């Protein structure tokens, strides 16, 4: 078995123009993102391991917020997830895989979680 490193940002909320909700209202839809990034870990992490040996968690939040183009309506939330994956792959060659879970907050009626999970491997 090989070692693995998964970095995660969970339950990050951001409004995005997507789906029927945005199409009907003209307003962005609130989405809840959980993003996992798989990287190959270094051999050992010690107290003085430099920050450059990992990925900045703020980059994961950036991919699901400011990196999304303003004013663009994503018809499918799958396209939002794909954009997040591509952004992270372009940012860092060490990323081996990205998993993006998106929950549509505006359409839940009884606390259920409606959404998708997309995993992309580096090609």
pTM above 0.85, yes or no: yes
Whether 119 has a pLDDT exceeding 90, the answer reads yes
Whether 77 and 104 have beta carbons less than 8 Å apart is answered as yes
Band the pLDDT of 21: cuts 50, 70, 90.
Answer: confident
3-state helix, strand and coil shares in percent for the chain, rounded to the nearest 5:
25, 35, 40
pLDDT in tens, 64-91: 999 999 999 999 999 999 999 999 999 9
pLDDT tens digit string along 95-105? 999 999 999 99
Gap between the Cα atoms of 80 and 107, Å rounded: 17
- Per-residue pLDDT, averaged over 5-29, amounts to 94
Give just the sign of the alpha carbon dihedral 49, 63, 117, 89: negative
Banded model confidence at residue 106, pLDDT cuts 50, 70, 90: confident
Q: How confident is the model at residue 111 (pLDDT cuts 50, 70, 90)?
A: confident
């Amino acid at each position: 078995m090989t070692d693995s490193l998964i970095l995660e940002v969970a339950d990050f909320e951001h409004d995005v123009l997507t789906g029927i909700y945005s199409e009907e209202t003209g307003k962005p839809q609130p989405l809840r993102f959980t993003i996992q990034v798989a990287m190959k870990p270094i051999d050992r992490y010690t107290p003085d391991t430099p920050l450059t040996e990992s990925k900045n968690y703020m980059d994961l939040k950036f991919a699901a917020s400011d990196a999304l183009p303003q004013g663009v309506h994503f018809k499918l939330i799958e396209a939002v997830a794909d954009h997040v994956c591509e952004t992270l792959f372009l940012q860092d060659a060490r990323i081996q895989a990205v998993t993006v879970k998106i929950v549509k907050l505006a359409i839940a009626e009884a606390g259920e979680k409606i959404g998708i999970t997309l995993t992309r491997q580096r090609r």
